[in-house]
Amino acid sequence: MKRYLAFDFGAESGRAIVGTLHQGRLTLEEIHRFPNVTVRLDQGLYWDALRLFHDIQHALRIAGRERNLHIDGIGIDTWGVDFAFIGEDGSLLENPRVYRDSRNDGSVEKICAVAGKEFIFRNSGVQFMQINSLNQLFVDRQLGSPALAAAKRLLFMPDLFNYWLTGVQRAEVTIASTSQFYNPVEKRWANELLAKLGLPHDILPEIIQPGQKLGPLLPWLAKETNLAYATVYASAGHDTASAVAAVPAKEGDDWCYVSSGTWSLMGVEIDTPIVSDEAMAMNLTNEIGYGGKVRLLKNIMGLWLVQECRRAWVAEGHIYSYDELTAMAEQAQPHTALIDVDAFLHPGDMPQKIRHWCKQHNQTAPESPGQMVRVILESLAERYRQVLVSLEAITKRNIRVIHIVGGGSQNKLLNRLVAQATRRTVIAGPVEGTAIGNVLVQALGSGEVSNLDAARRIVRDSFPVELFS
């Protein structure tokens, strides 16, 4: 029996989950949950990275000192694209920027004007979005960022936390592949692309594979937490890569996945990246998964729209749970409006933004919370249908099953709407897909699990799913 500690960071919260693997079954126990909130300053929008690492330390103390658990492995996954700059002395030069920072507005057009859209896609295979690391780095250079000028190293968010745990600076490939300056065809940094945009490549660390051992905890941290024997693994650092590793699919190519949460990432697993003109026109992305698999997918805005609406209603004094909002949406009139879910990137008064969009596009603007959530969920289901058509066209596959994993898989109304819109079987679950994948990638790295198919068999044997058709 082995225990692995998975840290799973989302845009709203972080969790520390202990996964125990015994006789082909995996059980999970959450030992610490904490908020992940953005901090707005006059200069922009930031993540509170030091506070997040404080919560990592707290969870390690719970595991090692309060619970006296024998932890065999530690792994971290986070959202994609965001990064930190590390100085010559190894210190954090500034808190990492949030990808939703409005300073990135218009950056896609700017980088395409300099490097050319085709050249960028051929060298990165990544969907064009202003949130991408490439855009953020370009904006840093344009604005004369002192942190960039002083940077010795760039570390993506899971790599930053791994560095603070072990002292090892590496770039795990699944998170690196979200950047738009990793070349998935040649499996290296896209140095030519960076050079064309006048961006440095010498600050980029060595790329490593998911499951690779990084080492033990730093001595002071090992002593403080009583976890000197634990090995830190570079898990699949991108949360979607971890979630996809936990998709309970059997061998075959008749399925796709939706990693459903703040974002919805919908895609298929393929063996070789597709960087064709057709893929570029569809604005698909080629990200790396466990075992060298390519996650050909589309980023969709996801349940962040509901989260932002709920935040606005709470500010007005109306405190609804997500279950209550879904129940109200169940009772709301269907098919009153369809919105472009990807048109809503920035935070702030989301109900008003959606109403304004509907009025601009000659649609009935939703007024009640139930109607608002109904419109969002129906629009998400329709977006999934559109992406499904694109994935089938470019891969020449007949996709019969949609696996929805992650926290969004709990929304039964959305699952039914997806099944209705796509006319496909939806298999929802496991809910803790990202944490499960994080644990299993550690187990793969330790040699306890033999391969990805064996890992997915463990998922099927350990966690219930629900079918919608």
Which phi and psi angles does 431 have, rounded to 5°? -65, -40
Q: How far apart are CA 174 and CA 264, in angstroms?
A: 17
Q: How far is CA 2 from CA 17, 30, 72, 242, 332, in A?
A: 14, 16, 6, 19, 47
Give the angle 171-175-178 at the CA atoms, nearest 5°.
125
Q: How far apart are CA 267 and CA 259, in angstroms?
A: 9
The tokens describing 339, both together, are 């919105």
Check 239, 254, 277, 342 and give the catalytic one: 239
Closest residue by Cα to residue 79 from 164, 181, 173, 9: 9
Are the C-beta atoms of residues 294 and 267 closer than 8 Å to each other? no
Are the C-beta atoms of residues 257 and 402 closer than 8 Å to each other? yes
Tokens 């979005």 correspond to what residue?
129
Closest residue by Cα to residue 264 from 96, 411, 156: 411
72 is catalytic: no
Q: How far apart are CA 7 and CA 15, in angstroms?
A: 6
Neighbour count for residue 252 (Cβ, 10 Å): 9
Catalytically active residues, by annotation: 239
